[in-house]
Structure 1
Amino acid sequence: MRLTRRSLAGLGLAGLAPPAALAQAGVVRSVPMPCLAQSGDIVALVLEGSGAPARRVVTFGQVFAPGDLPRGAGLAARLADGGAVPLQADVKLRHADGSARFALLALAAPALAAGAQAGVVLHRGPAVAGAPFTPDLARRSAILHVADQRVDLMAGLRQALQRPTELWQAGPQALQARVMQPMEIGRVTSLRVVADITLTADGGMAIDLWLRNDGAMRPGGGALAYTARLLLDGREALVAELPRHHHYTGWGRLLRSGPPPAFVRPDATYLAEAGAAPRYDLSTGVAATLLEAMGRRVREAEWAPALGPRFVTQQMGRTGGRADIGPMTMPQAAWLQTGDPRAAAFAIGQAEAAGSIPWHFWDSAADRWMDTRRWPQLWTDGRGGAPPGGLAQPIAQDTGWNLASSHQPDLATLPWLLTGRRAFLDELQAQACWCVLGQWPRARGRPGGPGLAEGVNVVRSNQVRGAAWSLRQLDNAAWATPESEPNADWLREVAAANWGWIRQQLPRWTRAQGEAHGWIPGEYGTPGLLPPWQQDYFAAIAAAAARRGSADARAVLDWMTNFLAGRFLMGPQGFAPHDGAAYLLAMQADADARNPLSSWRQIGDATRAASLSNGDGWSKTEGDYAQLALQSLAALIDVTESGAARAAYDWLSRAGAPFTGVADYRRDPLLNIVPRGQPRVPGAMPRCR
């Protein structure tokens, strides 16, 4: 998972400079945020100009920590010099206490030259009901041609505006509505047009246009070829030729009229406090060469085609260095740590590319993503058989993608939260539903059976890394999906049921594991051996869920602390601390997986006997395994305030383990996660201005 030369190639960034040169190159850090100096201040951001005139409206997403924006309170914005900025907030999600969790914001930005920056503070204010502006639709047009068919998107918008309760944004700065229309091209009936159309008070228009060939479980589903052409206000805005649009995939582009709006740089520290992202270290910075390469790649011809993978690994089962797997992807991590538009463009482009992955199963009869409420027996694998056990049209073998839950990236969560593009919410929900429907039914359980998570279990009999990444997707979708979405309740129930099931197993697992308890059982491929780094994957996901309020996930994390911290502290008990970050540990004396070793000394002796031990060195840690251990310990410290986790973190951070220096994190920012108040370069933390 490290950003080695191999994973640089996977991102299309190889050949630019060797890793050592990346570490020596310039460093880009996050710009300072405005200071929060007044009562009611919540969070700051920085606008970066595009050269657009004053009052050009920029729309984006904003997460809020519990209690920061109570129900009934208004949200306002001011510049660093105190001047008010027109702002519209459409709250889409609330915390349990009724305060806002996530809102779509529309801000009329000041005039800023290209690259110029202005700080903005969001603060509580009186609730002001701004009447939605009245757009002049008579002079606007948006015509989509697909094959031999014509779709008048503005006619669909006019109809949507007649249903005010369904508007996605409605206020004095922006109106947004979704236009969705099924299409039949030849014999193929599975295609639908999905267009999120935004009109702004400055006269601008944006269309997030998607062609989704994802209609499932009906006659006529399959691949098709077509040419798509979009005319905005009579001008050609998009032309795309698709020789083969595979079933269960989609593609889309965000198209605008008028000059581009300002770019929004978020406050990554606040996002961590709000539970939206890991606590990335803003002190180290990211190698400038890496950001320059991302900026170059998004301008190249290889980036442009519809349904292109955009350097997302298509053979998901591939192991080794992967910059697209972790709590989030490496470009997303670089985006948070720097706020740089080049990393943002790369991450947003990969979120668009997620549409090309064949894990989208739209239930046209219910207008929702397929889940186990209507399809309790479904297995999307080709071995599912005939409906309702399998898909009516199996996933084609020539899509270019090989799906694997154990190596799935999260391409959409952060882009959804920072941009507010509804298409990315679609991606997040579709993938989360697949995490259950793509799981072998015998492992996920019998629907309606006794116990928690029966029928939706993504942990039992799964690889621990597969369980971690599936829970990551379910948790993120459950936490970030508005209550009005049809799949919202199911997503929350499934995520909660899985954490509840894991918590139920803890007494039994503790009895079996004994003194060294705290590791999640799972399928590892080699009987008797345990990769501790997969436990670090799982701990990071448990910490994210616990930070967001899951008591069950918190209990699981508390339980895991004994193993995660103990592996670095049990030298007096016969377990070499260096082995805490080894690639494999010997956890059983024989091939009987039901009888794990139950003491640190037994595990240490067995690991040495199997020639898996680091001893006093690091020969078995030639990868990102120490980075993974540090980030999980950092999450433990943040969530549980465990003294043992802090002692283990302090020891490992000073132990000289491979790839744990500041230069390593600069060239590979994916796992650059620290405890609260412990930056790696204290004097380099950006200060508010």
Structure 2
Amino acid sequence: MRLTRRGLAATMGGLAISGCANPAGAQGGVVQAAPMPCLERAGDVVGLVLEGSGAPAGRIVTFGQVFRPGDLPRDAGLVARLADGRALPLQADIKVRHADGSARIALLSLAAPALARGARAGVILSRGAAGPGAAFDTAPALARHSAILHLGDQRIDLLGALRQARQPAGLWQSGPLAVQARLMQPVEIGRVTSLRVVADVALLADGEMAVELWLRNDGAMRPGGGAEAYTARLLLDGREALVAEIPRHHHYTGWGRLLHTGPPPPLPRHDAAYLADAGAAPRYDLSTGVAASLLASMGNRVQEPAWQQALGPRHVTQQMGRAGGRADIGPMTMPQAVWLQTGDPRAAAFAIGQAEAAGSIPWHFWDSAADRWMDTRRWPQLWTDGRGGAPPGGLAQPIAGDTGWQLASSHQPDLATLPWLLTGRRAFLDEMQAQACWCVLGQWPRQRGTPGRPGVAEGVNVVRGNQVRGAAWSLRQLDNAAWATPEEEPNAPWLQEAAAANWAWLRQQTPRWTRSQGEAHGWVPGEYGTAGMLPPWQQDYLASSVAAAARRGNADARAVLGWMTNFLAGRFLMGSAGFTPHDGVAYLLAIRADADAGNPIRDWGELGTAMRAQSMTNGDGWRKTEGASAQLALQALAQVMDVTEAGAARVAYEWLRKADAPFTSVADYRRDPMLNIVPRDMPLVPGSVPRCR
């Protein structure tokens, strides 16, 4: 495969990647986030930092911004200024709103000041009287620009979408700085009819154009679906911007790139603490910093030739069932966590690149007849696994066995949610929705239930009969998509209903589970390979997903999190009852006295006895603690504290933090920051949190 770019600035999201080992912001081999500008005026909402690319003044940068409930009411405008008080032209396209009508997710376009490469400028977003402003006249730009895709022997004019969508109702962005529309067109190559071109084209007030081109081979449940070879060639303003030779584009996969006609715009660095308050991300510790060597490695990897391959995995684990330490499995991926904790362009480029690579995973099932991702509303019996059989129980064309990917809900990464929230790239919204739909359609129908059957979550249940870690990550994807999908998106109602039904089902089970589990209650049952054993780290996985939904205001999730706290915290507090606190992070708990016992152990003391009898106890050490188990427990307790402020969780957190458990030192978190999540106002290095300036 050959993929080349020439003639135009064509960087991922306009990010300038440096391979230097000790960039600005690194001290003693550690990189920290840039200080945010101080909020000093009434109406100030949030600050961010622009990092320069060398582009001239007025270059339009477009990005995503998440807002806390109430910060930007429906009738309020949004304005921007530099830290020195100079106003900056700003356009805000609100995509998702909170229940009170205030903005939740917005796509912002900003006319940036001139900034040398690497130079930084603070920007403050405030409530103001400014309205959205009329869209600029695109006629001159449409006459000046061209975007032509040659796909095999076909010629496709990508600007046709903007020529046809002249009204705001047909536009993704419409304002004085940016006008954006989507072209979506099915194409046939040879006998394959499952391909479609999806292009998001934006005309900018600075005279430039941005084109995000995706080739998606995801049309499902129709004749002619399958793999195909082709050559794609994109010309922007008559110059070759992208050439890709694809020897085999597998069904249910896609690939895409974002290209600009002008110099790359500046990089926005977001306020990670504000994003946590807004429910967009866990509360990552900004006091520790991240090892500079880790950032250098990311910078080097995005320069490798393999990184540029269309449909390449970009260091995402393709055999998803593989166990062990994984940089792509957690509340979010490690590169995304580094991006939040540092704002560094290399981490941003790595995480954004992996969001693009998510297109190559064969979990994209497009319902062409309904113009949306397949879901159980139209396909209630579908199981995308190869064992689903003939339609409507299975796919018309099963997923090929030579895609290079092995899917597993229990080990699925979330590659697209944070990139969608921070970049506003619509293709990442597509990725997030497609994966969430697969989380249900990929679940065995006998477990997810029968639609229409009495009961909660019937037909969409991703918890019942699943591994707890599979439930954790499927709930993560469903809730993220339900929370971050615009209302006008066709899949939005189903995503919201499916997520809400699963949280309600979980809450409904807690009284029954409490009766079964006794005083040690608070763990969610699930399938696990070793009979009679409970892996507590899977409960910590689940806690991260439950806490995320609770932080966003979901009452059912908050109730479930409160119920789980009895177990999450109690395992470290029951030493006087006979349960060794060190066993709270043992790899396995002997939750049944023997493998054939029907009911779980209900008493903390009996649980401790079973641990010792089966030689599974840590005693006063850590010999039965593996990998990041202690980190997982700490982040679970931290998130409980962040949402519920439960006193037991605080006592347990403080005990484990001081217990010198494996991989919980500051140095450990700097080397691997994925789980570097702390309670509010409890950084690991007090005094080192970047202060506003």
Q: Render the CA deviation track for 1:261-306: whole Å, top value 9, x for unaligned.
A: 0110000000000000000000000000000110111011010110
What is the TM-score normalised by the length of structure 1? 0.96
**2-side partners of 1:566 and 1:119: how far apart?**
44
Matched, 1:160 2:165: yes
Structure 2 matches for 1:449-488, cutoff 5 A?
449-488=453-492
Tell me the equivalent position of 1:104: 107
Matched, 1:284 2:288: yes
Matched, 1:352 2:356: yes
**2-side partners of 1:156 and 1:202: how far apart?**
20
**2-side partners of 1:126 and 1:157: how far apart?**
29
Instruction: Determine if contact 2:91/2:132 at 8 Å carries over to the other structure.
Output: no
Q: Render the CA deviation track for 1:115-139: whole Å, top value 9, x for unaligned.
A: 1000000000014241111122112
**2-side partners of 1:83 and 1:460: how far apart?**
56
Cα displacement (A) at 1:370: 0.1
Tell me the equivalent position of 1:117: 120
**2-side partners of 1:220 and 1:538: how far apart?**
40
Which amino acid in the other structure matches residue 147 of structure 2? A
Cα displacement (A) at 1:166: 1.8
Tell me the equivalent position of 1:340: 344
**2-side partners of 1:514 and 1:168: how far apart?**
53
Tell me the equivalent position of 2:260: 256
Which amino acid in the other structure matches residue 683 of structure 2? P
Matched, 1:525 2:529: yes
Tell me the equivalent position of 2:7: none
Tell me the equivalent position of 1:185: 189
**2-side partners of 1:485 and 1:505: how far apart?**
32
Structure 2 matches for 1:417-436, cutoff 5 A?
417-436=421-440
Tell me the equivalent position of 1:52: 55
Tell me the equivalent position of 1:146: 151
Instruction: Determine if contact 2:160/2:183 at 8 Å carries over to the other structure.
Output: no
Which of residues 180, 203, 208 is equivalent to 2:207?
203
Matched, 1:38 2:57: no
SS in 2 for 1:683: coil
Structure 2 matches for 1:214-613, cutoff 5 A?
214-592=218-596, 594-613=598-617
Instruction: Determine if contact 1:160/1:179 at 8 Å carries over to the other structure.
Output: no
Tell me the equivalent position of 1:213: 217
Which amino acid in the other structure matches residue 515 of structure 1? E
**1-side partners of 2:586 and 2:493: how far apart?**
40
Tell me the equivalent position of 2:640: 636
Which amino acid in the other structure matches residue 375 of structure 1? W
**2-side partners of 1:198 and 1:299: how far apart?**
27
SS in 2 for 1:59: strand
Instruction: Determine if contact 2:92/2:132 at 8 Å carries over to the other structure.
Output: no
Which amino acid in the other structure matches residue 249 of structure 1? T
Which amino acid in the other structure matches residue 471 of structure 1? L
Change over 3 Å in CA distance of 1:41–1:502 after alignment to 2: same
Instruction: Determine if contact 1:145/1:151 at 8 Å carries over to the other structure.
Output: yes
**2-side partners of 1:379 and 1:516: how far apart?**
36
Matched, 1:92 2:95: yes
Which amino acid in the other structure matches residue 146 of structure 1? L
Cα displacement (A) at 1:620: 1.0
Cα displacement (A) at 1:156: 3.0
**2-side partners of 1:155 and 1:278: how far apart?**
41
Instruction: Determine if contact 2:150/2:156 at 8 Å carries over to the other structure.
Output: yes
Q: Render the CA deviation track for 1:398-420: whole Å, top value 9, x for unaligned.
A: 00000000000000000000000
**1-side partners of 2:206 and 2:113: how far apart?**
12
**1-side partners of 2:132 and 2:174: how far apart?**
11
Q: Render the CA deviation track for 1:338-389: whole Å, top value 9, x for unaligned.
A: 0000000000000000000000000000000000000000000000000000
What is the number of equivalent residue pairs in this alignment? 668
Instruction: Determine if contact 1:107/1:173 at 8 Å carries over to the other structure.
Output: yes
**1-side partners of 2:225 and 2:344: how far apart?**
41
Which amino acid in the other structure matches residue 686 of structure 1? P
Which amino acid in the other structure matches residue 143 of structure 2? A
Instruction: Determine if contact 1:131/1:172 at 8 Å carries over to the other structure.
Output: yes
**1-side partners of 2:597 and 2:363: how far apart?**
33
**2-side partners of 1:584 and 1:24: how far apart?**
40
Q: Render the CA deviation track for 1:201-241: whole Å, top value 9, x for unaligned.
A: 00110101000000000000000000000000000000000
**1-side partners of 2:276 and 2:160: how far apart?**
42
Instruction: Determine if contact 1:90/1:169 at 8 Å carries over to the other structure.
Output: yes
SS in 2 for 1:272: helix
Tell me the equivalent position of 2:618: 614
Structure 2 unmatched runs, 5+: 1-19
SS in 2 for 1:554: helix
**2-side partners of 1:569 and 1:164: how far apart?**
58
Tell me the equivalent position of 1:4: none
**1-side partners of 2:688 and 2:556: how far apart?**
37
**2-side partners of 1:33 and 1:433: how far apart?**
37
Cα displacement (A) at 1:24: 11
Which amino acid in the other structure matches residue 79 of structure 2? A
Instruction: Determine if contact 2:379/2:392 at 8 Å carries over to the other structure.
Output: yes
Structure 1 unmatched runs, 5+: 1-15, 18-22
Which range moved further: 122-131 or 173-182? Answer: 122-131
Tell me the equivalent position of 1:11: none
**2-side partners of 1:37 and 1:557: how far apart?**
36
Q: What fraction of aligned residue pairs are identical, expressed as a percent?
A: 79
Which range moved further: 225-234 or 133-142? Answer: 133-142
**2-side partners of 1:381 and 1:673: how far apart?**
35
Spell out structure 1 runs of 4+ moving beyond 3 A.
Answer: none
Which amino acid in the other structure matches residue 134 of structure 2? A
Which range moved further: 121-130 or 85-94? Answer: 121-130
Tell me the equivalent position of 1:7: none
**2-side partners of 1:426 and 1:374: how far apart?**
19
Which amino acid in the other structure matches residue 646 of structure 2? S
Q: Render the CA deviation track for 1:60-116: whole Å, top value 9, x for unaligned.
A: 000000000001100000100000000000001100000000000000000011110
Which amino acid in the other structure matches residue 141 of structure 1? S
What is the TM-score normalised by the length of structure 2? 0.95
**1-side partners of 2:598 and 2:524: how far apart?**
13
Which amino acid in the other structure matches residue 37 of structure 1? E
CA RMSD of aligned residues (A): 1.2
Cα displacement (A) at 1:608: 1.3
